A = this chain, B = another copy of it.
Amino acid sequence: MTQNTREADVTAALLIIGNEILSGRTKDANLPFLAEKLNEVGIRLREARVVPDLEGEIIDAVNALRARYTYVFTTGGIGPTHDDITAECIAKAFGVALERNAEAVARLQAHYKTDQINEARLRMANIPAGGILIDNPVSKAPGFQIGNVFVLAGVPMIMQGMVENLLPRLRGGARMLARTVSCGLPEGTLAEGLEAVQKRFPEIEIGSYPYLRNKEYGVSLVLHGTDEAMLEQATEAVASLVRDLGGEPSVTVGYS
């Protein structure tokens, strides 16, 4: 892509918290979901980090990311067990107290039978001072927002419910639109012409992603931009290049 990310862009980072991702046991599914949801409201995911369940690592990453991006989302570590330390770390990152939140307690009390409410479950009502709850439509224990940081569950179904609930709080910019030109030509044949198209359209990002299907190599040329007319022009220029080189371009709105 080009170096054309604008200062005015509304940006986000995702901090994935959990040993289970770094051990390879669990495959993260939250990044692609969040990327697409944010793009729908004109916010670009610009960085992601995966850190273990270690206090220092979490605090350092949260502070680095929240200083740099419009929004930060964290996933994981907000359950009732000893390895769930995210809320505590976020409080420390912001230099505020971790408090038992009355509204969160009420939600847990409404969800669990009286004999199920124990100290471990009540830990899920510990929220950094000043935090605003994020509804959890699945298992009730809420996420929370503090400053520009949104703290979400790691279990994808719960994370997704929380994202739907918090989207109205976000202020987005121009939505990034996508087109894909696929063809059976190899990247190395297209590269020179593609670079020329990229130089003609500096506001459009052009990415080249080779694939192997049925033992045939091909490439998906993905174009991104916020100006639809310019995006269409650049897409036609890429399709034209493919035809000139003897290929058969297949153009898709979005990704293919």
Contact = CB atoms under 8 A, between A and B. Distances in A.
Interface stretch (A97-105, A161-169, A200-208): A200-208
Interface string A203-220: 001111111100000000
B46 A198 contact: no
Nearest to A153: B210
A83 B23 contact: no
B22 A206 contact: no
Given A3-B54, A23-B178, A205-B19, A81 B190 contact: yes
Interface string A181-196: 0000001111110110
A155 interface: yes
Given A22-B47, A24-B33, A50-B31, A207 B83 contact: yes
A237 B123 CA distance: 24
B3 A55 contact: yes
Nearest to A14: B50
Interface in A105-134: 112, 116, 118-121, 123
Given A22-B46, A157-B212, A53 B1 contact: yes
B82 A191 contact: yes
Interface residues of A, number: 72
A57 interface: yes
A20 interface: yes
A208 B32 contact: no
B188 A19 contact: no
Contacts of A241: none
A243 interface: no
A15 B209 CA distance: 18
A25 interface: yes
Interface in A36-57: 36, 39, 44-55, 57
Interface string A51-65: 111110100000000
Per CB-CB distance, the 8 closest pairs between chain A and chain B, nearest first, are: A24-B35, A120-B191, A81-B208, A24-B32, A82-B195, A48-B50, A121-B188, A24-B36
